[in-house]
Amino acid sequence: MQQATWNHAQYLSVLSWTMFSAAITSAQLFLVFFPFGDLDEYVLGWPLGLSLTANAILVIASTLGRRDQHVRISLTDNGIQYDDEAESYRRNELLRASDIKKIRVRRNPFFKSLTINMKGNNQRFFFSNVSLTEAFLSEANALISGGASNAPQTDPT
């Protein structure tokens, strides 16, 4: 059975870059508020602005990368099993293959995200910082295309 799980190693990588950026930004702010010589001209302006911007982007990325740490997606014979075991948000659903419109993976500079679009109600299942194989994607697409052909057809007249 193929599974897509949360990518712990990628999260730790983004988190380590976030902590490194925070240390550099903290050192720059320390030099601004407690000057040791004339370092203000080297720290203030674009170096501090760039450091604050990079730190903000990395904090947001690490927060998004941690968001779905309790999610697991498994391929079954009937469709895709979506399990979210977070304390405040328990959700276990079987997404039937005939109800799935499209499944896709997007890559951003920090991690991969999996999106499952449903047909009828435009519902979307999202999984950020996912670890999956190419076999998972090919089997999921085969399941969806096979599930769509097995779905009962309705006559519009």
* Alpha carbons 148 and 136: distance in angstroms, whole number: 18
pLDDT of residue 47: 80
Per-residue pLDDT reduced to its tens digit, 104-153? 999 989 999 999 998 888 888 888 999 888 888 889 888 888 755 444 44
Per-residue pLDDT reduced to its tens digit, 13-25? 999 999 999 999 9
Strand order across the beta sheet in which 124-128 lies:
100-107, 112-118, 124-128
Amino acid at 17: W
Structure tokens at 137: 């994607």
CB atoms within 10 A of CB 33: 7
pTM, rounded to two decimals:
0.76
Asked if pLDDT for residue 79 goes beyond 50, the answer is: yes
